[in-house]
Structure 1
């Protein structure tokens, strides 16, 4: 049986880990991911580094946890967007993806720029798989609402996700003329033709 003190310690552990992750995000937003170290986080929170190493053994472990948090947040936002009217659901999901990326660009970059994090394999983190499953289910529901089916559900999911990621990444890098608003407009206007190419029936 779990005691009250055990529950309290577990709650305090979760709260401390959340504070460490938030501090890492703040440092990354201010100075970039290269500036994020366990010692820098410890200094910001006014803890000694050994205390923090009790929660994360390395920067890599912390970034992996942060990536998982990010994909869980993204999945939640996609799920909310997918609850809207079928006719506007595709644009709503793209808008949710865009808003998530630009609300937390440092987190988005960590989620998509970490070496050694596998995607599309059995080793893909569960949080990332959940985000892809949410996206795929929503795309299938949109197709069914239009009296059609996805010709290749996995391929459609990869294609649409890659398109959104590409638009966001290019916009973040300033590679689309006209700035982020024009980039977002171009993304939304291309959604329907791209989706239509994924359906049959």
Structure 2
């Protein structure tokens, strides 16, 4: 009787965990929809509950506050970005640098509300011991790819962390200015300028 009960309890536990994860995903998706329609200030636990037709107390079982929910969203965002960068880095050697820049750009404009939350909120430190694992992974993938491109050219990065910070900051700056409508010619010209300047900027990070 005991041996039979244990598998049943294990299956029940797995089912509850799966249902919990599904609910958290639904909450995060609803938050993203509200943010895309009305901005992050409009995102509250009660607004999410209303959209999903749940009571707010049920949602508080999954996220104790709006801040906790937004931090979780940012981690999802960095995980998505890391995967896009990883796939782009698997392409042909001569096109990997541009492919990664295009992957970064595509991610940002596919979900601008999420991108802005990832890069515009307090409490997500970079370059410290407190940097979230998902963000560290995205930077790690980026660094490995840049080092690989340099090696294929018979060179090396003069300062690998500095190269990552410089190229990442460049991409983020281009995306942010394009989103804000600050570059004449609009989004497409902004993207063209970014890709045109990318190669010289990367080359400046190399040494023979």
State the TM-score, normalizing by the size of structure 2: 0.96
Moved over 2 A (4+): none
Q: Which residue of 1 aligns with 2:112?
A: 105
59, 62, 66: which one aligns with 1:59? 66
Partners of 2:23 and 2:121 in 1: CA distance: 24
The question of 1:149 aligning with 2:156 is answered yes
Partners of 2:184 and 2:14 in 1: CA distance: 53
Larger radius of gyration: 2
Q: Which residue of 1 aligns with 2:201?
A: 194
Partners of 2:124 and 2:97 in 1: CA distance: 28
Query: RMSD in angstroms over aligned alpha carbons?
Result: 0.7
Unmatched tracts of structure 2, length 5 or more: 1-5
Query: Where in structure 2 are the equivalents of 1:121-132 lying within 5 Å?
Result: 121-132=128-139
Query: Where in structure 2 are the equivalents of 1:27-42 lying within 5 Å?
Result: 27-42=34-49
Q: Which residue of 2 aligns with 1:25?
A: 32
Partners of 2:123 and 2:51 in 1: CA distance: 28
SS at structure 2 position matched to 1:16: helix
Q: Which residue of 2 aligns with 1:89?
A: 96
State the TM-score, normalizing by the size of structure 1: 0.99
After TM superposition, give the deviation of residue 30 of structure 1 in Å: 0.2
Partners of 1:80 and 1:26 in 2: CA distance: 26
SS at structure 2 position matched to 1:3: helix
Query: Where in structure 2 are the equivalents of 1:176-195 lying within 5 Å?
Result: 176-195=183-202
160, 174, 181: which one aligns with 2:167? 160
The question of 1:78 aligning with 2:73 is answered no
How many residue pairs match? The answer is 201
